[in-house]
Chain A
């Protein structure tokens, strides 16, 4: 192993987790919003017609575009606030995973049909 590689391999810094926490929570928000918009478009005719951004793809185009835009905005905002800080990662992880799992469950039609 060269000197530079050895040096790099051991050079672990403990810098703030804020930026990572922002990315994780925003991904949870994005996953949940994508399911929520799909549910709203399925249940409400007004939302369904509003979500048709590209006619051949139908409401899926608006549902996914809105969810992705809001995910990116949430990521940007959280990153700007948390980047220099160390946040309670355990709570952020729990919130993000709950949002992610809710997102997966709400996209499953038999569960979505309960609402």
Chain B
């Protein structure tokens, strides 16, 4: 069992940071909606307030790690130019996708959308974390501010979902491979 360093970085970017962000989103939405929806509901305790603050800051860190590893580590391997006359495009995923009409839209729509829409996620969730950090339980008496934060978290979930879906499909059709091979475990001979 082995993995290349480029595959490992793709995993860290997508399955590590990105997927974790997507999973965390539902928790943030539930918490923001349930605890802060109305001043008539039971009061928010300090421990809950601290938890949500830390949770949203962790989500913001995850979102920034996702876009930064994506744009500055994985994406350069994805868009690497193939040498003139190259026939084996396995090491050049963007060129491989564009080489066939049946896969070119994964780049022209999928990657072109993903690479830009993903940046809306850290912007949105950083704002949400900052607002919750500043207002805490006082957000309950600021319904318009709270609903704006909720809307941004919803859209960040949508954007992260788009980026995650296209990332997974692009990697399925033209995986980013190469670099040193890391041996994880030795299999048995039969």
Contacts and interface: CB of A to CB of B under 8 A. Distances in A.
Interface residues of A, number: 48
A51 interface: no
B142 interface: yes
A9 interface: yes
Contacts of B141: 12, 14
A90 B152 CA distance: 15
A57 B77 CA distance: 9
A104 B159 CA distance: 8
B144 interface: yes
Given A8-B45, A56-B80, 19 more contacts: A5-B45, A11-B137, A14-B141, A20-B145, A23-B127, A27-B127, A34-B116, A38-B116, A54-B72, A64-B71, A64-B119, A68-B123, A89-B142, A97-B148, A97-B151, A100-B152, A107-B113, A107-B117, A108-B117
Interface of A: 1, 5, 8-15, 17, 19-21, 23-24, 26-27, 30-31, 34-35, 38, 54, 56-58, 60-61, 63-64, 67-68, 71, 89-90, 92-93, 96-97, 100-101, 103-104, 107-110
